[in-house]
């Protein structure tokens, strides 16, 4: 939004447009009905601008106050009550915190300032409200005095500042950059000599007044800064007393304008343009307008915040779309490269396959056959698990000698691969039992231990095909008649049916 500044004195209001260090006067409106109508028309023509009001009026009061340590709404309520006690409840007031006391309990020191004649501002503020233009705030020349000295590199801890404003001299007593006292003195003689003598005289009067109010010591030396046009400075230097309690420092208004980066140089001794430029570039945090007067300014802030959020969202969307476009382009390039690589590989494959022997089947059929063969190989079952199981049992029984072992799947040897998946494994073990000087009962006991060890696996079903001794029903079991018969190996045969179903 463009920035426009309003300067209000005791007689009229002037409007200025500020842009990049340049001030341009746009109108002067008298404090009468015609001037107010012209001002309302001016506001309607620039309703999209943001306005700030700088006041230079005599009705300005300052007071020091101490309040208990409070926060939030309680603090604001107490400050409003104190302003009402000092300034009869004017709505144009500001409170500046000066810190907290450390010697006693944590009391807060405040500088209360107010424009004590709100009726002088009311017609202008009403036109601003009717035009619905944003008013950033109301400020005073005295309020900007400390900021002016700070920008110019001068010490403003305790000093006097004298400037020429309109047809008067603005005298301000500053402490740590804050105006503790300010008044206007009429300027009857506008000549260079008259201005010089008036500035020197008013500085002495203000010094005596501050001593009388016990704001400074009687023997205390006080810096006094005077802002003047370069043509007036020699006369002011001559008018200022050499031996006094005031240490005068003259500030060239043109040099000050260059330091403040104000491109529009003051044409006379008035410092209005310097303060207006300060207000446009570095407005103070505190101002005198109430929230009622700043309603449209708050709305403009919300509007600008929404626009800024929308622009950020738009920028984020553009960046995201650019990133996605870049990624999509990379994917398309990668897909093109893969397609080219596939084409090259297919061409090379065709070249290589052309050298293969010619078969009665095409390549696709041959590929299906090889894939089917691989599937069949993967479905085949091997005797290794059954052999390992038998081997573990034989390791524990050294008296049994393995003479032969057969392995097959199912009883039918012509099973298909599909049927083989559910058919049991049949392992036939043939062996002999060799024990020295063992009776028949001892031999059968070893055989029974072997069979029990095979039955330990619940997946096994054991069928005895041949026992070491033929035992007929009703016939007693007895040993042989001689030593040769007892030492002869006893052969046996066992069938292990192993189920692989889950």
Which residues, at least 6 apart from 353, have a Cβ–Cβ distance to it below 8 Å? 363
Would you state the pLDDT for residue 163?
A: 94
How many other CB atoms are there within 10 angstroms of residue 167's CB atom? Answer: 14
What pLDDT shows up at residue 69? 85
SS3 content of the chain, % helix, strand, coil (to 5): 40, 25, 30
Percent of the chain at pLDDT > 90 equals 45
pLDDT at position 439: 85
Structure tokens, 219: 């023997």
Q: End-to-end CA distance of the chain, in Å?
A: 82
Highest mean pLDDT of the ranges 244-248, 328-332, 460-464: 328-332
Note the pLDDT of residue 300: 87
CA 217, 220, 225, 230 dihedral sign is positive
Query: What average pLDDT score do residues 112-126 get?
Result: 93
pLDDT band, very low/low/confident/very high, at 155 (cuts 50, 70, 90): confident
Place of tokens 């005198």: 288
| Burial status of residue 383 (CB atoms within 10 A of its CB: 0-12, 13-18, 19 or more) | middle
Check the CA dihedral 409-412-416-422 and report its sign. Answer: negative
Q: Which of 293, 269, 273 is nearest to 121 (CA)?
A: 293
Say if residues 137 and 282 touch (Cβ distance below 8 Å): no
The average pLDDT across 142-157 equals 90
pTM: 0.65
Closest by alpha carbon to 496, among 444, 448, 459? 459
Residue 29 pLDDT exceeds 60 = yes
Give, as one character, the DSSP assignment of residue 313: H
Segment 399-426 mean pLDDT? 76
More confident residue, 481 or 279: 279
- pLDDT range class, residue 481, cuts 50, 70, 90: very low
pLDDT digits (tens, 9 = 90+) for 218-233: 888 889 999 999 999 9
pLDDT of residue 468: 87
90, 92, 96, 100: CA torsion to nearest 10: 20
pLDDT band at 297 (very low <50, low <70, confident <90, very high): confident
Interatomic CA distance for residues 204 and 162, integer angstroms: 11
* Residue 142: DSSP 8-state: G
Greater pLDDT, 378 or 204:
204
pLDDT band at 434 (very low <50, low <70, confident <90, very high): confident
Sheet holding 135-140, edge to edge: 22-30, 12-19, 3-8, 50-55, 135-140
| Backbone dihedral region for residue 177 (phi beyond 0: left; psi -120 to 50: alpha; all else: beta) | left
Mean pLDDT score, 257-277: 91
* Strands (DSSP E) found in 9-49: 12-19, 22-30
């Amino acid at each position: 939004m463009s920035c426009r500044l309003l300067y209000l004195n005791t007689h009229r209001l002037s409007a200025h447009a500020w842009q990049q260090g340049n001030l341009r006067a746009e109108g002067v409106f008298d404090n009468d009905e015609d001037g107010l109508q012209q001002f309302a028309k001016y506001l309607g023509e620039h309703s999209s601008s943001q306005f700030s009001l700088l006041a230079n009026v005599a009705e300005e009061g300052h007071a020091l106050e101490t309040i208990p340590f409070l926060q939030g709404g309680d603090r604001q309520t107490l400050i409003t009550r104190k302003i009402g006690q000092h300034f009869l409840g004017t709505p144009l007031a500001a409170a500046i915190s000066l810190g907290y006391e450390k010697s006693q309990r944590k009391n807060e020191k405040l500088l209360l300032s107010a424009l004590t004649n709100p009726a002088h501002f009311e017609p202008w503020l009403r036109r601003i409200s009717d035009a619905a233009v944003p008013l950033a705030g109301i400020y005073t020349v005295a309020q900007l005095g400390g900021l002016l000295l700070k920008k110019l590199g001068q010490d403003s801890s305790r000093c006097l500042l004298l400037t020429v404003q309109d047809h008067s001299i603005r005298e301000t007593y500053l402490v740590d950059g804050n105006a503790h006292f300010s008044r206007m003195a009429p300027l009857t003689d506008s000549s260079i000599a008259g201005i010089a003598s008036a500035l020197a005289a008013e500085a002495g009067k203000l010094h005596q007044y501050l001593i009388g109010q016990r704001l400074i010591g009687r023997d205390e030396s006080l810096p006094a800064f005077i802002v003047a046009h370069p043509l007036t400075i020699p006369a002011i230097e001559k008018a200022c007393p050499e031996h006094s309690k005031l240490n005068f420092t003259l500030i060239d208004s043109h040099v000050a304008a260059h330091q403040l980066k104000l491109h529009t140089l003051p044409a006379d001794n008035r410092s209005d343009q310097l303060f207006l430029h300060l207000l446009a570039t570095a407005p103070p945090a505190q101002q005198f307008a109430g929230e009622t007067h700043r309603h449209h300014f708050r709305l403009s802030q919300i509007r600008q915040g929404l626009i800024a959020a929308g622009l950020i969202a738009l920028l984020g969307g553009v960046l995201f779309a650019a990133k996605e476009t870049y990624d999509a382009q990379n994917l398309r390039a990668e897909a093109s490269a893969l397609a080219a690589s596939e084409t090259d590989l297919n061409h090379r494959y065709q070249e290589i396959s052309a050298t293969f022997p010619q078969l009665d089947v095409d390549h696709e059929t041959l590929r299906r056959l090889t894939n089917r063969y691989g599937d069949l190989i993967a479905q085949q079952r091997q005797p290794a698990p059954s052999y390992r199981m038998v081997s573990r049992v034989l390791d524990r029984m050294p008296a049994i000698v393995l003479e032969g072992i057969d392995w097959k799947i199912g009883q039918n040897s012509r099973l298909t691969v599909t049927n083989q998946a559910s058919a049991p494994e049949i392992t036939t073990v043939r062996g002999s039992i060799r024990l020295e000087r063992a009776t028949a009962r001892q031999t059968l006991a070893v055989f029974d231990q072997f069979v029990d060890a095979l039955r330990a696996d619940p997946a096994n079903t054991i069928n005895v095909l041949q026992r070491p001794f033929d035992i007929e029903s009703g016939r007693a079991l007895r040993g042989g008649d001689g030593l040769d018969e007892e030492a002869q190996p006893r052969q046996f045969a066992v069938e292990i049916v192993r189920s692989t179903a889950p």
